[in-house]
Every structure is written in C-alpha cells, then in structure tokens.
Structure 1
Amino acid sequence: MSAVASGTFAVTFRPPGDLPAVVPGIQELAFDKLWTGDLSGHSQGHMLAYAQTAYVALEVFTGTLAGRTGQFAFAHLGDQAQGQQRLLYRIVEGSGQGDLSGICGELSLSITDQEHRYAVHYTL
C-alpha cells in the first residue's frame, strides 16, 4: 500500500548539555517535536549542524499514522548552497515497530512563517 500523509509539527531545540566541541564549527543539538495531522505523536532526535549551512540528524517518532500505532526513525541530511535549501528526510528502513513495522518512505518539508508543513510518502 502506498499513501501520502500530511500535516504540521512544532519543534523545540535544546542544548544537549556541557559536551565538549568535537570539531570547531560543529554544533550539537537535541530536539523534540510534536506532530499533528496524519502523523500524530511526538519525536526526539539529535542534530549536528555546521555554520547553519549543513546538518545531519536522527530522530525517532512515536505515535499514530493512518490508525496504526508504533514508532520508526527518520534520518535527515540538509544543506544550503547559493540560498537554495536541499533536504533529504527518509524513514530508516527496518526501524518500524508495532503496527508501523515494515514502513519505508520519505518526507518532504516546507517552512512558511516558521510553520513546518510535511508530507510523508510511505509504503507500509
């Protein structure tokens, strides 16, 4: 079954603590998200960012998708070149648990006025 899920989420960043800098210019952040829409639940993750021009992150979502409850992980890779932002935001294959076991797919994202709008293209 292929489908598209869409909605919004709110994100709150928090410093992970007093960790020493691994590499100059790289910042480590932990984050929490509250998902609404077709994905309903919360996620937590960790991000490494370089000079606001590139980042990698992993996060774990726990909640409901299309009436199915469980969890899965997202992997992010984002960068910015010449004012253009590029983002790869994938569901980690094999990470699905509960009713979301076997899920795979990608998320597309748009940000307008600080609102994060998503569409998850997935197979379950």
Structure 2
Amino acid sequence: MRLFVQRAAFALMLTACVGPAMQAHAAPKEPVMHHATGTFEVKMQPQGEVGQAGSDGNSLGRMSLDKTFSGDLVGTGSGEMLAARSSVPTSASYVAIERVTGTLDGKAGTFVLVHRGVMRGETQQLEVTISPESGTGALAGIAGKLGIRIEGGKHYYDLDYTLPAAP
C-alpha cells in the first residue's frame, strides 16, 4: 500500500511539474479568419505619363489614389498607381501601393495594400493583398486579401483577414 501511495504522489508531482511545460510547447493557435465588408469612394488624379508614349501604341501612366472607406473598415486610403494601356482598348494592367489608416472592426491602426490588376477583353484578374508586417497599432500583424467589386457605379470591398491572437 505504501508503494502505491508513493507512486501516486510521484505521478501527481510529475503531472504538476511537466504539465505546464508541455502546454508551453503546444502548437500555436491558428489565427481566426475575420471578414469585413463595406463600401468605398475613390478619387484618382492623373500624375502624367511615365516616360514618353511609345510608337507601339502602349502608354504608361501614373495616378494618385485617395479613398474613403465605410462599413466594417472606417478610414482613408492614399497611394500611387502605375497603369499600362495597350493599343487594344480592352487590355490594360495596373499595380498600386496604398496606405490605409482607420478602424477595422473597432481596432485602430494602419496597413498597406498591394494591388495587381490585369484586364484582357472580358477577362479581369485582380489581386489585392495586405503587405506583410505592414500593420501598426491594434492592426499589427494583420494579414489577408481584399476583394473589390463595382455594382451600379458603387465600389464595394470584402476583406478577409487575420490578426495575431492576444497573448
């Protein structure tokens, strides 16, 4: 009986000492995906041609972007866009960098969006991602993708994002 009590006491002590250490080495929690939606207004101001217009019919231009977001994201965006148009009216491409400042689902901070768009005929590809490690304030560590759609002349956004879990 005494041996049983000693072993039980040892097992209890081992659990008390090793249990917390094992939990400290547990796999980190996967970040929770959040979804934010709303609308935005955008003003684009031409900043001129980039270089000289090509004799091949291709032109490169630069624009400044100013946005106002409403919905789950309340704030402003400002950035620069480079665009290319070919001699074919339905083909174009653009890239842009945009700093967003505001409140996202009640969390204040900033982050940077990276845009890449390609249009060819009826086919359009648009990718807008949050630049890694660009989040500040309560948005530090934010990661995700932004979808844009235009309906009836109005711009809508759908933002899927993660934030690090609070310690």
Query: What amino acid sits opposite 1:87 in the alignment?
Result: L
TM-score (norm 2): 0.70
- Count of paired positions: 122
Q: What SS is found at the alignment partner of 1:54?
A: strand
2: distance between equivalents of 1:114 and 1:55? 20
* Change in CA separation of 1:20 and 1:55 when aligned onto 2, cut-off 3 Å: closer
Deviation of 1:89 after TM superposition, in Å, equals: 0.4
Aligned to 2:60: 26
Unaligned runs of 5+ in 2: 1-31, 54-58, 86-90
Match of 1:102 among 124, 141, 153: 141
In proportion to residue count, which structure has more strand?
1
Aligned to 1:67: 106
Deviation of 1:20 after TM superposition, in Å, equals: 6.1
Query: What amino acid sits opposite 1:79 in the alignment?
Result: V
Deviation of 1:78 after TM superposition, in Å, equals: 0.2
Question: Are 1:15 and 2:43 matched, yes or no?
Answer: no
TM-score (norm 1): 0.93
In proportion to residue count, which structure has more helix?
2
Unaligned runs of 5+ in 1: none
Deviation of 1:23 after TM superposition, in Å, equals: 5.4
Higher relative contact order (CA 8 A, sep 6+): 1
Q: Give % identity.
A: 38
* Change in CA separation of 1:119 and 1:20 when aligned onto 2, cut-off 3 Å: closer
2: distance between equivalents of 1:109 and 1:30? 18
Structure 1 or 2, whichever has the larger Rg, is 2
- Partners of 2:49 and 2:61 within 8 A in 1: no
1: distance between equivalents of 2:105 and 2:40? 16
Please tell me the root mean square deviation across aligned C-alpha atoms, in Å.
1.3
